[in-house]
Amino acid sequence: MTTLPAVPLTLEGASVLHQMMRVRWTAWKSLAPAQQEAALDEAAAILRTMTGGMDQTAVYSLIGHKGDLMFLHFRKTFEELNQAELALARLRLAEFLEPTTSYLSMVELGLYESTLKLYASLAERGIEPHSAEWNQEIETQLARQRQAMAQRLWPAIPDRKYICFYPMDRRRGESVNWYQVPMAERQRMMHEHGMVGRRYADDVKQIITGSIGFDDWEWGVDLFAEDPLVFKKLIYEMRFDEVSAAFALFGTFYVGLRVEPGHLPALLKT
């Protein structure tokens, strides 16, 4: 038998786009109140239509200098994400919004434990990695997993007051390299990492998205909660487990408050 693959299986679901915007306040304030009201009414009306079934868009008021608004889109495909992005760009309000950054990814569930079990089972049966039979067995297993985990693959945007979003990488090529660690060791570390998160499950809803090949970082993390203090406590505690302490790199953090479309006028009207 050849060496077993080092890559764990994953399941992919909803396509996700984060758009961070800064309001061009000087230009916005120069509009007459009636013009502001018309632009805000149009934006609120369009945003209300951008939620239904798997089409979901949420708006957040960002805290700090990194932007004023964040639009979070969950869609079935990248094509539908593109349509959501264009729908916002066509708004009168868009003339007064300056993009600061964006992040493209899709919901990802890692299957370390089941991957190890499946690879071991296939090896015991003498099935050669990447052969037609191997690939068929893998796809059969993934199909079962997709059905069992459909709710996690296609989640609703949690209706929580606060959001914390950040991208992250696993270290590769510095003093340590995550991608050269044996899979069983990676599975052990990820299990321990996940056990920390489970202790916060009642207070924080977490959605992990994969972005390798889509954006500059490897994963995106969205945390949703009613109390922002839990973000600090959870992330701080996770820094002490092995996978984070030795292998994690973190990008820019964004924290915001959920804004319903009908409340945009109260937020932006001057």
Question: Would you say 231 and 255 are in contact if contact means Cβ atoms under 8 Å apart?
Answer: yes
Q: Return the structure tokens found at 251.
A: 């990008």
* H/E segment holding residue 162: strand 162-170
- Using a 10 angstrom Cβ sphere, with 0-12 exposed, 13-18 middle and 19 or more buried, the burial of residue 147 is exposed
Of 158, 269, 208, nearest to 10 by C-alpha is 208
**Given 166, 179, 200, 254, the catalytic residue:** 166
109 half-sphere exposure, CB direction, 13 A CA radius: 20
166 labelled catalytic? yes
Of 106, 108, 64, 69, nearest to 91 by C-alpha is 69
Residues designated as active site: 166
